[in-house]
Amino acid sequence: MNKSINELLTEMTLSEKASICAGLNMWMTKGIERLNIPPVHMYDGTNGIRKTNSDEEMGITTENVPATCYPTGSAIGSSWNTDLLYEVGVALGRESKAMDVELLLGPGVNMKRTPLGGRNFEYYSEDPCLTGELGASFINGIQSEGVGASLKHFAGNNQEFEKMVTSSEIDERTLREIYLSAFERIIKKSDPWTVMCSYNLLNGTYTSENEHLLNDILREEWGYEGVVLSDWTAVNDRIRGLKAGLDLEMPGPAHYNTKAIVEAIQNGALSEEQLNRSVARVLKLVERVTSNQATDSYGDQNYHALARKAAAESIVLLKNENAILPLQPDSISSIAVIGRFAKKPRIQGAGSAKVTPTRVDIPWDEIKELAGATVTLGYAEGYPEDDAIQEDLIKESVSLAMNSDVAVLFVGQPEYAESEMRDLKSIDLPEHQVKLIQAVAAVQPKCIVVTSSGSALVMRPWVQLVPGVVHSWLSGQGMGRAIAEVLFGQENPSGKLSETFPVKLSDNPSHMRIRGENGKLYYREGLFVGYRYYDRKELAPQFPFGHGLSYTSFSYTDLEVAQVEKGVTVSFQLKNTGKRKGKEVVQLYVHDEECNWTRPEKELKAFAKIKLEPGEKRRIVFELEERDFSYYNTKYNRWVAESGFFQIALGSSSRDIRITERLHCNFGKEEVTFHKFSLLSEWLSDSTAKKVLEECLDEMNEHVTDKVYLNEEFVGFWEDFPVVKLFQMFGQNWMIDRSPDEVIQELIERVEKAR
């Protein structure tokens, strides 16, 4: 564009303004040639670029333009590595430039309310702090290359079942603390060029036209100035959407809505000023992508090496009894490799995030290379592609395992299980895989299971039968090499679970309300999602949030915590006490000991992935802000940090806390806002209000027989009574010319004046 946005707004016709608020086709915005406004090319891009062969097709079930396939969200979320997310973002930005892609539709950052979510493989975590930090780094990486990102799906989209007609019913506190917190963190730390609204309704209103969500929170409270675009066909009422702040409808051209916008302006249902705001934001997006055109060629970059690196950091070693891993080629002569996933690996989920990879590392080939010529490898398919139980395949596997020194089984969720547009039916392995593991483990004690899935897995009844379990997630085209390097110790595993693995599905807090009924899904578990629930219920998971083993060990010592002017400083010594170099994910949790409101036992507030050589020691420092100690107070509709004692806990997982310290934090006195039904305890918690109330009671006691004194006995019984009710109870003979309501209003005015 060679003119300013204001100049373009002046020159555009009403019809042109309306039309630019919808796409040109499936993957492009509409340009206006006479004004030199070019279109913007966008494609799906959560774990790779899914560029279709034509701008007129969705390309969901077809092969698209080949691009690097990185680990899916749930996999790379388990890397806990913000630097890695930035590096992958930069690579995607560069690859986008080489492919003439200007806007990537990702990342997906919705919380994992239930492990049955069909798109969980696209999302990072069950925790908003982890998700927010990873998402911000990813977006900063992409946009550093002049390619826009699209933060999605905003908000409350946590299931696929009837998502286009279901209202996510979420109370305001839960919405703020769990389901919006990651979005807020990302908006403020990375300023994504676009935000994509979700399909669902939120508390009765489609998110595409939800003024509380798009205007009050996103725009006014968080200060977001970028483009809000719809998920594909997520628009319900286009005029309401424009008023709420939905700038761009996708896909296009949506002629019917262009006509509706023009008519709404003409009949006064929509002001041209409201339309101009959205048009200006779309033009700003065009300006951003056109002013960042790359001059370098990025086509020769070795993106596959980065895909391998990302996969290796994402893999989680869940179990390693008797140090069965890593495998030592000089101490074994034969390995049984069992399971069709060893030769036909699952590297990603299905739907709009499915990338056509440039190449794929095959686990069997990579294991064979790293094992070397001295180790004999045998292969058995183990199970068929469908769900049939074929005893001959199990017998073949058992025979091979019996005659080998060690067995490595490749199992996981089948290809059809994890996809956009449908939720999972189960998080158990298919029955034929369970029977296979049990049969092989019965004859081969040295048995290692490598699992693949995009979500949490239930591992009973077989997990106790095997000494080694490696969870590879869906880790992209470099997964095969990464698995082989972890198995043979060339890569020290450093992934940590970004979501809780329950013992059984019914342990999950959302189990009683996984699906909506009659168009509504009530999030009645509230704040208690993931580890927050398991901690509060004192319920042991199979593997806790943040869990992941290493081939080395780490010690945590010398914890120091102190409140400073802008928050709290936490520092400690981390030492690699083992014999291998490795990376530890340090997790910092905070617990509020004294809050009057219900709060989780602990909440993740900071983390860091630290690489240390054997014997190396380093002091790690975290800077926490007041917000890290706050909860969302719906009485005052703001974040509140209450003064009092907090526990600072550092550990290797949510259930492996290594060192703690108790700290009293002074965040100042929160001024209570009084109203008609404020409780006696609230009046007494504020020194000014208490004094005003005592003066009033002294006046009342001169006229009543049943006198009120705010001693310990009286307060202990009446503290949860609204003060207005106390006047109704004890002040009948005093309030002759005034009502209880008038007395309360007078007291509130006296408090406000005294302050």
Q: Torsion-angle region of residue 393: left (phi > 0), alpha (psi -120 to 50) or beta? A: alpha
User: Rounded to whole angstroms, how far apart are CA atoms 86 and 138?
Assistant: 5
Q: Where are the alpha helices (DSSP H) in 558-686?
A: 680-685
Closest CA to 661 of 590, 604, 607, 599: 590
User: Rounded to whole angstroms, how far apart are CA atoms 177 and 128?
Assistant: 8
Q: How far is CA 484 from the centre of its chain?
A: 29
For residues 54 and 48, is the Cβ–Cβ distance under 8 A?
A: no
Q: What is the DSSP string of 18-68?
A: HHTTBBSSSSBBPPBGGGTB---BEEE-SSS-B--SSTT---SSS--S-B-
Q: Which of 44, 231, 247, 423 is catalytic?
A: 231
| 612-to-535, 584, 606, 615, 645 alpha-carbon distances in Å | 30, 8, 19, 8, 33
Active site residue 300: no
Place of tokens 């790690």: 620
Other CB atoms within a 10 A radius of the CB of residue 565 amount to 4
β-strands 567-576, 554-564: how paired?
Answer: antiparallel
Is the dihedral angle over the CA atoms 557, 563, 566, 567 positive or is it negative? positive
Q: Torsion-angle region of residue 146: left (phi > 0), alpha (psi -120 to 50) or beta? A: left
| Strand ranges (E), 549-678 | 554-564, 567-576, 582-592, 603-612, 617-625, 631-633, 638-640, 644-653, 656-665
Is the dihedral angle over the CA atoms 86, 88, 92, 94 positive or is it negative? positive
β-strands 644-653, 582-592: how paired?
Answer: antiparallel
User: Rounded to whole angstroms, how far apart are CA atoms 525 and 531?
Assistant: 12
Closest CA to 532 of 594, 605, 460, 595: 605
For residues 716 and 642, is the Cβ–Cβ distance under 8 A?
A: no
Q: Where are the alpha helices (DSSP H) in 604-739?
A: 680-685, 687-701, 712-718, 723-730
Q: What is the DSSP string of 505-520?
A: GGGSTTGGGSS-BTTE
User: Rounded to whole angstroms, how far apart are CA atoms 104 and 62?
Assistant: 19
As annotated, the active-site residues are 231
